[in-house]
Amino acid sequence: MKSEWHIVSNERIAERVFRMILRGDTAGIAPGQFVEVLVPGCYLRRPLSVGDVTDDRLTLIYKMVGEGTARMAQMSSGQTLDILTGLGHGYDLTKAGEQVLLIGGGVGVPPLMYAAKELRAAGKHVQVVMGFNSKGEVFGEDTFRAMGCEVTVCTMDGSYGTRGVVTDVLPTPTPFYYACGPMPMIKAILRTAGTNGQISMEERMGCGVGLCMGCTIETTEGFQRVCKEGPVFNAGALKV
């Protein structure tokens, strides 16, 4: 759905990481789905995961990585944005047992926040393992704890939490998991934790709505568009 959103706030929450809260029509936005933000001055929309949805508020947590997100970081409350919402297939939260594991890396963490909220509301016991490069990039720990999740944070350089990567600290046996993060992390999860989970993929997109075939990946179920059949795939379907 295409609609206009009003920026309520836009603040830096970690190194190069910003949280933008917008007001608009939040109908039909599920955990793991993404939105496409038309940033004034850029031709293609920016695909961003959904950090939270409450009433008429949408939370986007994004990392400043290029021209589009740099422009977004300069925006402030009162400005409006043209956003396509409810895109792609999100996490199937019905697959979770009573024990659930969320695994996130860097700006792969935000979609897990929204998933955690829904899982906690359904009475699940949620363990969260998050990985970052260093202390300055860490965010979200308090949010998960406030929901009643059990949280483990690790950093590559050991400046915060456990030194190392998420797969060093995964619980065994590993319950059904939902994951999102960079490709090296996804490969490590598949190696270490197996395929009993769902993983959100990230690819450079053209349209984000299934028209251009710019983001197609090969899966065990054939060629699938990350923007349309994804971004969340069953871990066992991925060929990475």
Joined tokens for residue 81: 């944005």
| Nearest distance, CB of residue 37 and other proteins, angstroms | 11
The residue among 27, 22, 24 whose CA lies nearest residue 11 is: 22
Nearest approach in angstroms of CB 7 to other proteins is 20
Pick the closer one to other proteins by CB: 88 or 175: 88
Residue window 189-208: x/- pattern of binding to other proteins, with contact defined by CB under 8 A: --------------xxxxx-
Q: Does 164 bind other proteins (CB under 8 A)?
A: no
- Given the complex with other proteins, which of 43 and 173 has the nearer CB atom? 43
Neighbouring-strand partners of residue 82: 4, 38
Long-range contacts (CB closer than 8 Å, 24 or more residues apart) made by 234-240: 234/195, 234/197, 234/198, 235/177, 235/179, 235/189, 235/190, 235/194, 235/195, 235/196, 235/197, 235/198, 235/199, 236/195, 238/186, 238/190, 238/199, 238/201, 240/183, 240/186, 240/187, 240/190
Contact 78, 7 (CB under 8 A): yes
38 binds other proteins (CB under 8 A): yes
* The CA-based dihedral angle spanning residues 138, 142, 145, 149, taken in that order and rounded to the nearest 10 degrees: -40
Query: Contact between 240 and other proteins (CB under 8 A)?
Result: no
Q: How far is the CB of 51 from other proteins (least distance, A)?
A: 24
- Our finding on whether 21 is near other proteins (CB under 8 A) is no
Per CB under 8 A, 130 contacts other proteins: no
Selected from 10, 22, 45, 188, the binder of other proteins by CB under 8 A is 45
Contact string (CB under 8 A) for other proteins, positions 48-87, x = contact: ------------------------------------x---
| Binding residues vs other proteins (CB under 8 A) | 2, 38, 42-45, 84, 203-207, 209-218, 223, 228
